[in-house]
A and B are shown apart, each in its own frame.
Chain A
Amino acid sequence: MSARDAIEVARTALLAVAPDLAGERIAPDAPFRDQFDFDSMDFMHFVAGLAKATGIDIPERDYPRLQSLADCARYLHERGWR
């Protein structure tokens, strides 16, 4: 697995929640909420999507570690996603 793949899976989960972001540039390092309107409901769906796509159980206490695409990639890597 490359870091690029992890970012891509996170981006796909993000677009599933906010299809209106398709085609827009999403900076990997900037927190989602700094880039677009992203509320707790969106975030919840995003995490659910990410968990489903990767098969990783993501507990609520880890939510703060998933604030940007790069965050997500790091997290998935730590959790041993292949």
Chain B
Amino acid sequence: MPALGADMEAGTLVEWLKRPGERIARGDAVAVVETQKGAIEIESFQPGVLREIRVETGARVPVGEVLALIDGEAGAAAAAPVHATAEAPARAIAAAPPPRPGAAAEPEPEPVVLSGQRRVPISPLARRLAEERGIDVATLQPGADGTIGLAEVEAARAALAPAGAPAARAAGERGLDLAAMRRAIAAAMARSHREIPHYFVSSTLDLAPLLAWLERTNATRAPPGRLLYLVPLLKAVARAMASAPELNGHYEADVFTPSAAVHMGVAIAMRGGGLIAPAIHDVDRLDLDTLMAKLDDLVLRVRGGRLRSSELADPTVTVSNLGEHTADAILPVIYPPQVAIVGCGQIVPRPWVSDGGLVVRPTMTITVGGDHRVSDGRSAAKFLARVEALLKTPEAL
């Protein structure tokens, strides 16, 4: 069971999409898991043949539990647990072991070993209780302070208990529990407020060049091929990350790990309430049409409550775009373990000084929420200046 977000402790297996004996290609959706973020398709990062399903539908499974075994390609005897960590950022505790290509014919998945040199502190009580209850301590997710205590063991135990309500839910009703989603948002934001010393830096940018370019571009295209302004905006934000790497990455257990790739969380509102910010990968390197297609697909699937596990693997930075006919500015709150969030207000015509004269320009106020444990306002200022420069020549995006 992959961790589909920093705050996830368990998920309910609602459907197997593959049967034992079926071939699986890398990236195939193998199962559907229900989480606080809705129904998520779990993809395999391991090609092969599904050998054994270990978890029945309806079961609530703690993060790190083996869901199924896949026999590797070319008749290799080693079975790889179904897992989706390949794209996920490294964690102090790997939720499942990586497949060992050279491993002997031992079919049982290896007990998970603490990765890296750092030993995760676990309280004596937590260790004892985990042992008594048959919970592998390596599967336990540390708490916000990086240690494993009674609370983490209790959570894992609760997750192991047979689930009642979710299993009873009819298949057609699969989707979101909005109250649960609100609790998940609350938990993440409370943690953010508690742990992250935020700072905010804003700039109001002249979007006339961007909008003029967009109008020219879209005028030549049929409606389905047109771009939303959000697309070049996301691209500019993603590219500008290179000028402030301390805004892009994860802060976990007192250590900031910058990310070379820009996996951008895009906050998408659900109809009827709720918010989810799945990632589009490598936004800085996608051309605008591909980015538009990905965004389109993502919005569609968010609304349909069907996301993929790799999209929920933690984004490295998030953009929260208020959109049209909303409000002028937003002071966004960082989604841990990320260290920055970019908030975009609506586009508004404002008086603007250009060449010493007063003109009216479409403008947007962009606000960076940054994490003082990692960066200062200066980083955000540098980043915003870079966004502004990139948006002056949108054709180069």
Contact = CB atoms under 8 A, between A and B. Distances in A.
A23 B271 CA distance: 16
Interface in A32-73: 33, 36-37, 39-41, 44-45, 47-48, 51-52, 57-61
Contacts of B226: 44, 60
Interface in B26-68: none
Contacts of B224: 48, 52
B296 A41 contact: yes
Contact of A20 (B271, B296, B323): B271
B215 A61 contact: yes
Contact of B223 (A18, A33, A58): A58
Interface string B295-338: 11001000100000000000000000001110000000000000
B375 interface: no
Contacts of A51: 222-223
A47 B215 CA distance: 16
A18 B271 contact: yes
A39 B223 contact: no
Given A40-B228, A40-B323, A57 B222 contact: yes
A37 B222 contact: no
Given A51-B222, A57-B222, A59-B219, A37 B230 contact: no
B215 A44 contact: no
Contact of A60 (B215, B295, B323, B325): B215
Nearest to B270: A37
Nearest to A57: B222
Interface in A6-38: 18, 20, 33, 36-37
B218 interface: yes
B228 A60 contact: no
Nearest to B214: A60
B391 to A, nearest CB: 18
Given A51-B222, A58-B223, A44 B271 contact: no
Contacts of A33: 325
A52 B225 CA distance: 13
B210 to A, nearest CB: 14
Nearest to B227: A44
B269 interface: yes
A57 B225 CA distance: 13
A47 B271 contact: no
A36 B271 contact: yes
Interface in B361-392: none
A36 B208 CA distance: 29
A61 B215 CA distance: 8
A36 B325 CA distance: 13
A40 B324 contact: yes
A44 B219 contact: no
A37 to B, nearest CB: 5
Given A40-B323, A41-B299, A60-B215, A48 B230 contact: no
A39 B299 CA distance: 10
B295 A39 contact: no
A18 B224 CA distance: 16
Nearest to B218: A60
Interface string B192-230: 000000000000000000000001001100111010111
What 4 A-B pairs come out closest when comparing CB atoms? A48-B223, A48-B224, A60-B218, A37-B271
Given A39-B269, A39-B299, A59-B219, 5 more contacts: A20-B272, A37-B269, A48-B223, A60-B218, A60-B219
7 contacts: A37-B269, A37-B271, A40-B230, A48-B222, A57-B222, A58-B223, A60-B226
